[in-house]
Structure 1
Amino acid sequence: MRAQPTDDLVHDFPFDPTYGYDLDALLAVPAPEAPDGFDDFWRARHAEARAVDVAAELGPVEWEAGGFRAHGVTFTSTGGFRLGGWLTLPADGNVVRGLVSVHGYSGRDRPEPETLLPGTAAIWPCARGIGARSLRDDLPAPAAGHVLQGIGSRETYIHGGCAGDVWCAATALLHLVPEAAGRLGYSGISFGGGIGALALPWDDRFRVAALVVPSFGQYPLRLTMPCVGSGEAVRTHHAEHPEVVEVLRYFDAATASTRTRIPVHVGAALFDPAVQPPGQFAVYNALAGPKELFVTTAGHFEYPGKAAEKRALLASEHEFFLARE
């Protein structure tokens, strides 16, 4: 399926959600250069997460549908954060593969097993401070506040903790469903796409991934572009505190992707008012291993044909995963 012309999209944003980029220009957006100590910083964060006793606990079956049953799950992540979410299992008990699936910045209030390949055991964590099962009084839930939490230092910035949540969720899944080891994948959209891009290079348990409209890519460029997503809070903050760019350099999803060598499928949009397309494509362009791009018309925006594009994107992801098993 080909993306529709973005000229046909009617909107009232005070800016152009294509930011003046056509597909050829998007495919040329580079990743920012890594700052000194980038790899050491992330390897240390990963080592910290792998040392956590996640103490995963599986709750009773909450519902069963479409060949899957859903349980509540809790586990411990870095910093002692106790997180919640769901674990979905094939109703027939036949586990072929595992998946860590991470939500966008709007959070999650249920898992989506209808999007899974048969035989998939999936953990659907709510990242710290986001989603129905990981809210905390000491963390701002709205994206505009969450994205700035601890941003004054690379050691305290919340996105480092969110990457830890991904690694600890993988540990929890493999503890609860050990037969998924060796065939573990990752799936993330928007926030989850960007956090996944930050987390994937350092954890060799992941064998394949799918990132949809990934956020947090090409910060130097995105800081010049208005949007209606969490990036606007960062852009506004940066205008008053330009020194924060030295922290953001360690949390650029495109920079991290230059270290990712596993196969990755990316769904990126030509038009997106919330996650600027140049940042999305920078993540794809930077990937160092086998990769496949599915170009959608728009992200974070309703338009005719969106449902059909979403189905085609999911089918493309599934084909990509199956070809690498």
Structure 2
Amino acid sequence: MSIPTRHPFEFDPTYGMTLDALLAIVPPEVPAGFDTFWGGRYAHALTVDPKPTISESATSHPNWLVRDITYTSTDGFLIGGWLLVPRDGPVRRGLVVGHGYGGRDAPDYDIPVEETAILFPCFRGLSRSARKPISPDAAWHVLCDIDKPERYVIGGCVEDLWVAVSALAAIFPQTDGRIGYSGISFGGGIGALAIPFDTRIDRGHLIVPTFGNRPLWLTLTTIGSAASVQAYRRRHPDVLETLRFFDAATAASRIRIPMLMAVALFDPAVAPPCQFSVANALPKSNYNEIFILDAGHFDYPEAEAQHAALMAKVGQFFRTP
């Protein structure tokens, strides 16, 4: 391992924690009503007809048919994104891919999967799903309706993921029950919240996930979205009561499908203790794996090699059965 020792930050992005200390972190206590809150939202999301619309994309790729896609999520919110379909071979599986808080400008063409249709939705308020009054700026997006648990934008983004699964299954019925999810950072946190309640998702891959261990998340210095919520909390100290229902570590303790987690020892945007809180919350089983990165949201010498090793595992993890 080669954890960065030189960086421009005025704080330590390792938070002084060793790997052993990170692996010993336990998730926070589950708030009463947590499962009912999310189970009800999931049941409602299942009633939504996504009405996916597919059109030719301005971009092309030698291995993929690239399509623009829109679908209707909860609250009638129109979600935009991309759909990749393999040029050769059948479609046997589906994969929904979530993005970080920077949004998404294009699909990822290097995901090493075969016989798989890949849907890249842009979560509400961001990139192709930008719409007022939601700000596309992460620092403001994360605060949208934070004082209203039923309306908080993070919950809407979780519903966007569930409806993305519905849209993919509607386009390719043969993938129903064989749809995976992969998400990084913001998309990792959204995935942790969504996966436990969606029985149609059969495996998940989360990379440096945010929103884990909210009590801790609110205390650790960061350049990520937590910073704006920490500032908000100074004026509204009761916000933690809402955030406890949007805790990725709490939700991860409910996951019962195979998971491949990638968590970092150094990360200025998503504090490693919060990432490891999500990973540590997963049930201990032979089909869950934790992949350790030297750093997240930061360039480092071994980044390319570690990314290649992780992608090899991803290809194996999502291999068509």
Match of 1:252?
247
Q: Which runs of 4+ in 1 moved over 6 A?
A: none
Q: Contact 1:68–1:88 at 8 Å: present in 2 too?
A: yes
Cα deviation digits, residues 104-137 of structure 1 (max 9, x gap)? 0000011013213121101000000112x11112
Match of 1:320?
317
1:119 to 110, 115, 127: 115
Match of 1:305?
302
Match of 2:178?
183
Cα deviation digits, residues 38-76 of structure 1 (max 9, x gap)? 000000110111111111111124433241111000000
Aligned residue runs from structure 1 range 83-162, under 5 A: 83-131=79-127, 133-162=128-157
| Superposition RMSD in Å | 1.3
Which one-letter code corresponds to 2:104 in the other structure? R
Q: Contact 1:125–1:169 at 8 Å: present in 2 too?
A: yes
Which one-letter code corresponds to 1:192 in the other structure? G
Which one-letter code corresponds to 1:162 in the other structure? C
Separation in 1 of the partners of 2:92 and 2:109? Answer: 15
Match of 2:76?
80
Q: Does residue 52 in structure 1 map to residue 56 in structure 2?
A: no
Q: How many residues align?
A: 319
Cα deviation digits, residues 145-170 of structure 1 (max 9, x gap)? 00000100211111100000000111
Separation in 2 of the partners of 1:202 and 1:234? Answer: 26
Q: Does residue 173 in structure 1 map to residue 168 in structure 2?
A: yes
Match of 2:227?
232
Q: Secondary structure of the residue that 2:123 maps to in structure 1? A: coil
Match of 2:193?
198
Which one-letter code corresponds to 2:16 in the other structure? G
Separation in 2 of the partners of 1:298 and 1:105? Answer: 17
Which one-letter code corresponds to 2:113 in the other structure? L
Q: Contact 1:104–1:191 at 8 Å: present in 2 too?
A: yes
Which one-letter code corresponds to 2:186 in the other structure? F
Q: Contact 1:9–1:303 at 8 Å: present in 2 too?
A: no
Separation in 1 of the partners of 2:112 and 2:123? Answer: 20
Q: Contact 1:46–1:202 at 8 Å: present in 2 too?
A: yes
Which one-letter code corresponds to 2:181 in the other structure? Y
CA shift at 1:94, angstroms?
Answer: 1.2
Which one-letter code corresponds to 2:292 in the other structure? V
Cα deviation digits, residues 180-199 of structure 1 (max 9, x gap)? 22211000000000000000
Aligned residue runs from structure 1 range 277-296, under 5 A: 277-288=272-283, 290-296=287-293
Which one-letter code corresponds to 1:121 in the other structure? A
Separation in 2 of the partners of 1:66 and 1:272? Answer: 35
TM-score by length of 1: 0.95
CA shift at 1:93, angstroms?
Answer: 4.6
Separation in 1 of the partners of 2:112 and 2:51? Answer: 26
Separation in 1 of the partners of 2:188 and 2:161? Answer: 11
Which one-letter code corresponds to 1:314 in the other structure? M
Which one-letter code corresponds to 1:22 in the other structure? T
CA shift at 1:96, angstroms?
Answer: 2.3
CA shift at 1:31, angstroms?
Answer: 0.8
Q: Contact 1:100–1:124 at 8 Å: present in 2 too?
A: yes
Taking only the aligned residue pairs, the percentage that are identical comes to 49
Pair 94,251 (structure 1): closer, same or farther in 2 beyond 3 Å: same
Match of 1:211?
206
After TM superposition, the structure 1 stretch with the greater mean CA deviation from structure 2, 109-118 or 237-246, is 109-118
Q: Secondary structure of the residue that 1:144 maps to in structure 2? A: helix
Q: Contact 1:183–1:206 at 8 Å: present in 2 too?
A: yes
2:9 to 13, 25, 45: 13
After TM superposition, the structure 1 stretch with the greater mean CA deviation from structure 2, 78-87 or 52-61, is 52-61
Pair 321,118 (structure 1): closer, same or farther in 2 beyond 3 Å: closer
CA shift at 1:312, angstroms?
Answer: 1.1
Which one-letter code corresponds to 2:56 in the other structure? P
Q: Contact 1:83–1:128 at 8 Å: present in 2 too?
A: yes
Which one-letter code corresponds to 2:176 in the other structure? A
Which structure 1 residue ranges, 5 or more long, are not aligned?
none
Q: Contact 1:63–1:69 at 8 Å: present in 2 too?
A: no
Separation in 2 of the partners of 1:171 and 1:220? Answer: 33
Which structure 2 residue ranges, 5 or more long, are not aligned?
none
